[in-house]
Amino acid sequence: MIVLEILTKAFWSGIAAVGFAILFNVPKRTLFPIGAMGAIGGFIKFGSMFLGIGIVLASFIGASLIGIISIQMAHMKKSPPLIFSIPGVIPMVPGAFAYRMMLGFIALIDLEDKDVYIQTLIDTVNNGAKMIFILISLAIGVSIPMLISRKETIKKLKETTN
């Protein structure tokens, strides 16, 4: 059952990636790979969370994988890697945490009870911290292949490995 649930989430991650790909006006030939990468990233992220890994690390693992596949895809589909990696990681963007943080701040405006205020503040800061760290781990994750290979363009990466 849990596998089915993870697969469903992976599928919808793929759909979300394609939606954003169209919003960013990507070339048509890259649409299918982007959907597949969004799904793979979602599968890895939710799979690792099921295995007990925290959401920040799980997002990082998913994003790194998307970063690595995007290099391969860039060679196959002749487009720069960012075209695959940015829409690919967007389903992992911590929207829920951002939303709860915003609602928390809005609630803080006119809370008067001290205990409720402190509890809301704790939740808000917690959600905000999660959001920021997930965002950073997504961005570092997708740039990992370029950081490790220390090459300016992926074309050189291919020449050296061949």
What are the residues binding other proteins (CB under 8 A)? 8-9, 12-27, 30, 42, 78-80, 82-83, 86, 89-91, 93, 95-96, 98-100, 102-103, 105-106, 135-136, 138-140, 142-143, 147, 152-153, 155
- Rounded to a whole number of angstroms, the minimum distance from the CB of residue 25 to other proteins is 5
- Rounded to a whole number of angstroms, the minimum distance from the CB of residue 107 to other proteins is 10
- Rounded to a whole number of angstroms, the minimum distance from the CB of residue 139 to other proteins is 3
Residue bearing tokens 């991650």? 13
Q: At a CB cut-off of 8 Å and minimum separation 6, what does 133 contact? A: 56
**CA-to-CA dists, residue 76 to 38, 69, 85, angstroms:** 17, 11, 14
Within 10 A of 20 (CB to CB), how many other CB atoms are there?
A: 18
Within 10 A of 31 (CB to CB), how many other CB atoms are there?
A: 15
- Rounded to a whole number of angstroms, the minimum distance from the CB of residue 149 to other proteins is 14
Could you tell me where the beta strands, DSSP code E, fall in the chain?
none
Nearer to other proteins (CB atom), residue 100 or residue 130 = 100
* Inter-residue contact 127 to 47 (CB < 8 Å): no
**CA-to-CA dists, residue 11 to 22, 35, 40, 41, 158, angstroms:** 17, 9, 9, 10, 31
Nearer to other proteins (CB atom), residue 112 or residue 114 = 112
Nearer to other proteins (CB atom), residue 80 or residue 116 = 80
Nearer to other proteins (CB atom), residue 15 or residue 118 = 15
Nearer to other proteins (CB atom), residue 69 or residue 114 = 69
- Rounded to a whole number of angstroms, the minimum distance from the CB of residue 142 to other proteins is 7
